[in-house]
Chains A and B, each alone.
Chain A
Amino acid sequence: MRPFSWRFIRVWQRNSDVFLRLWHTEAPAFIAEPLILLLAMGLGLGGYIGAVDGQRYIEFIAPGIIAAYAMFSASSECTYSSFVRMEFQNTFDAILATPLNVEDIIAGEIFWGATRSVMTSVAVLTITAAFQLVHSPWVLLIPPFALLEGLMFSSIALFFTSFAPSINSFNYYFTLFISPMFFLSGVFFPLSTFPELLQKLSWIAPLTPVAQITRALFQGEFGPKLLPALGIIIGYTVIFFAISLVTMRRRLTR
């Protein structure tokens, strides 16, 4: 593994320039969808569901939706979008002909994916505020926390991208990895509903600790009991960031 340099910021800037030109094409995914979900599940379905963990159902799922959509943003950025830049637009080849090296590109992609998570978390958080669901000042920590969440999901996604043979391969990634997490990591119901074995297994899914921390910040119950969850996220981030530096180098320099 070789280190990246501060020059990764140039890749980040390139991606952000393109995003600022085209953001309106992405807006439905990170604004309209969570909004519809809050309306349908929170208000609609929530009307038939009593209190969950002592709160209204919509209050329970709101932080879960913030966490899940931040995950979607980083994941789609570092799978489909990175793949298009790498294979179809040959953007990485163009950048490699400049003083930047492979590691700078990888770090730029991962930090950009994480930035998308932050933007999405801010957008969804604002929507929940509009629903008058925000009561604690701790929510201000959700966007910085989404940066860490985004670094983790971007690193995992880019690791998968480094050996994806075609853009269709990402259907597997989303169907078998991202979607199950969306439904089974404590976004829509407390994991305590599950049998004990399933509860333990669900902690393997990286979204589970993210949902737990985001919910705690949302409810203003931040405390040391969250440290194990934070440890899991940092662990996944460090491991997958490092592995993707190696596997992407292999793919890009062949």
Chain B
Amino acid sequence: MVIIKTENLTRKFKELTAVDSVGLEIAEGECFGLLGPNGAGKTSLIRMITAISPPNGGSIWVAGKDLAKHPREVKAMLGVVPQIDNLDPDLNVMQNLLTFSRYFNIPRPEAYRRSLEVLRLFQLEDKQRSRTRELSGGMKRRLLIARGLLNTPKILILDEPSIGLDPQSKHMVWQKLRELRSQGVTQLMCTQNMEEAALLCDRVAIMHLGKILVVDTPEGVIARYVGSRIWEIEVEPSERDEVIEVLRRRHLEFEEVVNTIQVFNYDSQGLGGLPGRPRKATLEDVFFKLTGRSLVE
């Protein structure tokens, strides 16, 4: 079943079209990754889906409800985990959660019970009385995710869930997100971390200049655009021209990155005689291929 559906969704800022007629369908229970360089329009898209900024055109349906007509009902189903820390610095951890529960009209005893539950889930139960400014970056992020679960959301929307985390915290967050996924919580995440996307997401969309370029499983995207393996040739400057000449003659797809030439979508016959070695292709290779290596901003 489709739980989030957008049609011709468009958002403009004066001259710039940040989101350009985007159509997306996200299935209930899946983890969907939105990838793209800075300025691709991911945040604008998420802000529209979370009813924070209104679209200039198009429509959004969440669990069968038209977001434009029922923003409150839709937001009651969402758990939103922002990239920036917007915890209340003047309140302690427990007060942050109780105050947030109140926005959802969760009665006090139930709010307290759920707050304890999510704190335990993210191993923060002994921080109840701490001010949020005293928490480390990793704890703050865990608390932000915990806060996003207070209303037992159908859909969890995460903006860069593991950015700025040390490896331990990162893996813990990933583990929890996987658990939530297995409990049937739909997840929509923006991420620049290709490892994260490959590991967690059932499907990914690559976004560039306001448009969705491709939607598929991580493996599917990789196979379609770069092949499952990439042949890497490390070349000396003196051999470079010769190797490139050979690749061109054989009509092979390649890209030069510093002193390495990467060959995509090859078969072993076509490579005959060329030096180098294969490596497993990743989402990052697709990302570069579709969105380029130059800085977009």
Contact = CB atoms under 8 A, between A and B. Distances in A.
Interface of A: 7, 10, 13-14, 17-18, 21-22, 89-91, 93-101, 253-254
Which of B73, B90, B103: most chain A Cβ within 10 A?
A: B103
A14 B102 CA distance: 9
A253 B54 contact: yes
Interface stretch (B74-82, B182-190, B211-219, B226-234): B74-82
B72 A18 contact: no
The 7 closest A-B pairs by CB, nearest first: A90-B86, A98-B103, A97-B80, A94-B86, A99-B72, A18-B90, A99-B76
26 contacts: A7-B103, A10-B103, A14-B88, A14-B99, A14-B102, A17-B95, A17-B99, A18-B90, A21-B90, A22-B90, A89-B89, A90-B86, A91-B86, A96-B50, A97-B75, A97-B80, A98-B75, A98-B100, A98-B103, A98-B104, A99-B73, A99-B75, A99-B103, A99-B104, A100-B72, A101-B51
Q: For the complex, would chain A's binding face be called helix, strand, loop or mixed by DSSP majority?
A: helix
A18 B13 CA distance: 35
Nearest to A92: B86
Interface of B: 13, 50-54, 71-73, 75-76, 78, 80, 82, 84-91, 95, 99-100, 102-105, 151
Nearest to B80: A97
Given A90-B82, A97-B75, 4 more contacts: A96-B52, A98-B100, A99-B76, A101-B72
Contacts of A94: 82, 86-88, 100
Taking chain B's interface residues, is the majority helix, strand, or loop, or is none over half, making it mixed?
Answer: loop
A186 B177 CA distance: 63
B79 to A, nearest CB: 8
Contact of A93 (B54, B82, B104, B151): B82
